[in-house]
Amino acid sequence: MSYSNNEDIKINFSNIDELVQKIRNEVDNIRFGSEEAATYHLMKHPVQQQKAFLEKAHNLILNGKYDLKNYPEKEFEIEFMVKLDDKKYSSCCLKVFGEKIILATYIPVRKIPKKVPDPLK
């Protein structure tokens, strides 16, 4: 299995819901932007978790709520999230630009911040 992005996914920025559906339809093609980025992220996790890393990130993209982080001229970040309990959630961020969608990061467990609104409400 390759952990980096080998092909571009055609992007339509005019309809965000359509873009999210396209991302979900093409989830198997979403990878890190480079082998170096994949290595960096995978090395942060125990060996037994590495094989399932992309599978879990893809599952989160398929089933999570989403939030746009930026939208400056056809370039933005989209975060997919699933609430784990009242204090934690799982997060996966994609960078979308030009004709590319890359996996920026996948965080299996994040704390829900107390000082800002719950990102999953």
The pLDDT tens digits for 54-92 are: 888 899 999 999 988 766 666 778 899 999 998 999 999
Which are the contacts of 41, defined by CB distance < 8 A and separation ≥ 6? 32, 53, 105, 106
Of 9-18, 31-40, 54-63, which one has max mean pLDDT?
54-63
pLDDT tens by residue, 90-120: 999 998 876 778 888 888 888 888 765 555 6
| pLDDT value, residue 65 | 93
Per-residue pLDDT at 1 exceeds 50: no
User: For position 74, what pLDDT does the model report?
Assistant: 64
Give the span between the Cα atoms of 73 and 91, in whole angstroms. 24
Domains and CATH numbers, the chain: 16-111 (3.30.2310)
Query: Which two tokens mark 114?
Result: 């107390």
